[in-house]
């Protein structure tokens, strides 16, 4: 079996070499390092798909790779070309000894510069609608510069089609990547160098034509200049058509002039239609005039409808007049509704007359309700009469309540009488409480009588307490007598303290003070006598005991009739 495989591979290798020698590019994947997501045995590893063997019988040839068939959601196979290469096309050979189209269906082909193919370019994705459409030997044009080529299978949940194999399995017998090393092309050995004009030095491996051109250049060999009318001198590599034009130009090569009515001279490259028009113009090429009634001469480019109207006009092109009763001739452009009405009118078009009794003949524009009423009237239309008891016949417009009442009346419509004892017949409009009471009365409605002891029969309206008392009286109702010692019998109303003390009372106070002073003088003299006797007895007697000196216990009064021995004063004088 191995001898047969060697013989077959030599034969196939010779055929590959012969075919390649007749082509301008080579199989740059042959013999390169390959890996895959898993191996279904060592004989079915990834390198089998780049060994040059085109035998598609997986079971007996030993020429194919196979990933693990267990229930996996994804499988991949990848070859490293060793360096960046200019790829022209890729041919894939799938196994033929088993109908595995349901396994191969939905595969994706990626080109990348790293092993992470998700960062590269998706060259092809199989979207066959039926199993019969899946090709088992297929060639894809992939003109990219890359180092890694990856084939990827994913089986999500749910699958794209029910006929898809539920497991992700790859069975590849050969993957040929035709191209040349970067910057090379042609003659099977890729020995020719790409033109210096090619951007990045990359060109097609077969033809040597540049993939991309530097800025401002075009052509298959990037040897032609882009038109100077191209914006930033950028044009299509093959056709030379400008991507965009400089202002004022249009056409594939931007060789034609935009109309002068285009704002800023800018128009569409392909149609020459102006993006915007100068003031007063409209239309694709801005060749039509806006209505003279357009505000500031401005209208919509596509329709010619005015953006706004001059004063007194309305309509799409402002050809209609605003209603005559619009204040200042202002109305909405499209509906014709007045912004406001002249005095005495209301309604969308100000055709209706305000009610007769509206103050200053003014009313709401929308509903015609009066903004205020003339004297004596109330209601939305001022058609109701205020109460005759309202002061000056003035009442609230909506409720009809009086703002003030005539004398002696209260209530929302001033129909009730104030209490009879309110001073000047005045009471609060809502509750009927007296603002002040007549003399001798108190309470919210002045129904209570002040105490007769109050001076001039006057008391506090809230508490009934006297405001002042007659002489000789004090207290909240002046029921207590002032002290007799108060001058003119006058004392503090609240606590009864005398405001001043009378003259006779002052004499009594002086007398009391004199008695107190006299008593103190007698005590002093008595003490002096006792002291004198003690001194005399010490000098005139040999007795050791001294007779005690006691005050005269017969002393009973401090009156002027008390007897005093004359020698007392003599002893005081001799001292």
For residues 135 and 200, which has the higher predicted lDDT (pLDDT)? 135
Exposure b/e, 196-208, CB count within 10 A at least 16 = b: ebbeebbbbbbeb
φ, ψ for residue 327 (rounded to 5)? -65, 130
Mean pLDDT of 259-287: 94
Residues 344/361, Cβ–Cβ less than 8 Å = yes
pLDDT at 4 (0 to 100): 40
Q: Provide the percentage of residues in the chain whose pLDDT is more than 70.
A: 86
Count CB neighbours of 224 within 10 A: 15
Count CB neighbours of 141 within 10 A: 11
Residues 490/502, Cβ–Cβ less than 8 Å = no
Structure tokens at 320: 């209609």
Out of 84-88, 199-203, 406-410, pick the least confident: 199-203
Global pTM value? 0.46
Contacts with 259 (C-beta within 8 Å, 6 or more apart), sequence order: 267, 272, 274, 285, 286, 287
**Is the pLDDT assigned to residue 442 strictly greater than 80?**
yes
pLDDT at 19 (0 to 100): 37
For residues 143 and 269, which has the higher predicted lDDT (pLDDT)? 269
Gap between the Cα atoms of 361 and 372, Å rounded: 9
pLDDT at 540 (0 to 100): 54
**Is the pLDDT assigned to residue 563 strictly greater than 50?**
no
Gap between the Cα atoms of 511 and 508, Å rounded: 5
Question: What length does the chain have?
Answer: 575
| Closest C-alpha among 513, 529, 509 to residue 569 | 529
Count CB neighbours of 148 within 10 A: 20
172, containing H or E segment: strand 172-181
For residues 513 and 374, which has the higher predicted lDDT (pLDDT)? 374
Tens-digit pLDDT profile for residues 348-357: 999 999 999 9
List domains and CATH numbers for the chain. 33-182 (2.60.120.260), 450-499 (no CATH)
What is the distance in angstroms between the CA of the first residue and the CA of the last residue of the chain?
A: 172
In the three-class reduction of DSSP (H, G, I as helix; E, B as strand; rest coil), residue 390 is classed as strand
Determine the Cα angle at 118 with ends 116 and 122, to 5°. 125
Which residues lie across from 173 on neighbouring strands? none
Model confidence at 410, pLDDT cuts 50, 70, 90, reads: very high
């Amino acid at each position: 079996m191995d001898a047969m495989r060697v013989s077959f591979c030599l034969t196939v290798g010779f055929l590959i070499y012969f075919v390649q020698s007749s082509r301008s590019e080579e199989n740059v994947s042959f013999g390169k390092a390959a890996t895959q997501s898993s191996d279904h045995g060592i004989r079915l590893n990834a390198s089998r798909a780049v060994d040059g063997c085109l035998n598609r019988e997986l079971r007996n040839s030993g020429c194919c790779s196979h990933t693990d068939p267990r229930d996996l959601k994804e499988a991949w196979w990848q070859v490293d070309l060793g360096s960046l290469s200019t790829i022209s096309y890729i041919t894939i050979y799938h196994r033929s000894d088993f109908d595995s189209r349901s396994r191969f269906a939905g595969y994706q082909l990626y080109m990348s510069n790293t092993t992470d193919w998700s960062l590269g370019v998706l060259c092809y994705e199989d979207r066959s609608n039926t199993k019969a459409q899946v090709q088992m030997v297929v060639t894809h044009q992939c003109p990219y510069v890359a180092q890694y080529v990856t084939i990827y299978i994913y089986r999500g949940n749910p699958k794209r089609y029910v006929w898809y194999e539920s497991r992700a399995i790859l069975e590849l017998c050969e993957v040929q990547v035709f191209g040349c090393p970067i910057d090379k092309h042609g003659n099977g050995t890729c020995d020719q160098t790409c033109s210096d004009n090619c951007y990045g030095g990359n060109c097609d491996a077969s033809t040597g034509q540049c993939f991309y051109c530097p800025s401002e250049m075009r052509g298959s060999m990037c040897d032609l200049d882009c038109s100077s009318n191209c914006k930033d001198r950028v044009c299509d590599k093959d056709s030379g058509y400008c991507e965009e034009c400089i202002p004022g130009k249009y056409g594939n090569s931007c060789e034609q002039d935009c109309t002068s009515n285009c704002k800023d001279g800018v128009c569409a490259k392909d149609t020459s239609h102006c993006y915007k028009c100068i003031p007063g113009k409209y239309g694709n090429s801005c060749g039509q005039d806006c209505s003279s009634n357009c505000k500031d001469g401005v209208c919509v480019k596509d329709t010619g409808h005015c953006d706004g109207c001059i004063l007194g006009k309305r309509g799409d092109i402002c050809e209609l007049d605003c209603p005559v009763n619009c204040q200042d001739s202002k109305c909405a452009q499209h509906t014709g509704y007045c912004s406001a009405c002249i005095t005495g009118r209301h309604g969308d078009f100000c055709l209706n007359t305000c009610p007769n009794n509206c103050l200053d003949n003014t009313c709401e524009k929308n509903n015609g309700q009066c903004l205020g009423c003339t004297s004596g009237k109330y209601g939305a239309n001022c058609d109701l009469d205020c109460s005759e008891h309202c002061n000056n016949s003035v009442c609230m417009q909506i409720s009809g309540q009086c703002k003030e009442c005539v004398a002696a009346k209260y209530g929302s419509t001033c129909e009730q009488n104030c209490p009879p004892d309110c001073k000047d017949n005045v009471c609060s409009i809502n509750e009927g409480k007296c603002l002040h009471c007549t003399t001798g009365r108190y309470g919210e409605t002045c129904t209570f009588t002040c105490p007769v002891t109050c001076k001039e029969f006057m008391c506090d309206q809230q508490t009934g307490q006297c405001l002042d008392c007659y002489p000789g009286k004090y207290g909240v109702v002046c029921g207590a007598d002032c002290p007799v010692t108060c001058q003119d019998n006058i004392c503090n109303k609240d606590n009864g303290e005398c405001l001043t003390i009378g003259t006779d009372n002052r004499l009594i106070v002086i007398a009391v003070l004199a008695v107190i002073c006299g008593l103190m003088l007698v005590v002093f003299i008595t003490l002096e006598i006792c002291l004198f006797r003690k001194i005399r007895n010490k000098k005139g007697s040999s007795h050791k005991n001294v007779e005690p000196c006691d005050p005269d216990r017969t002393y009973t009064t401090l009156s002027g009739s008390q007897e005093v021995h004359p020698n007392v004063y003599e002893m005081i004088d001799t001292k």
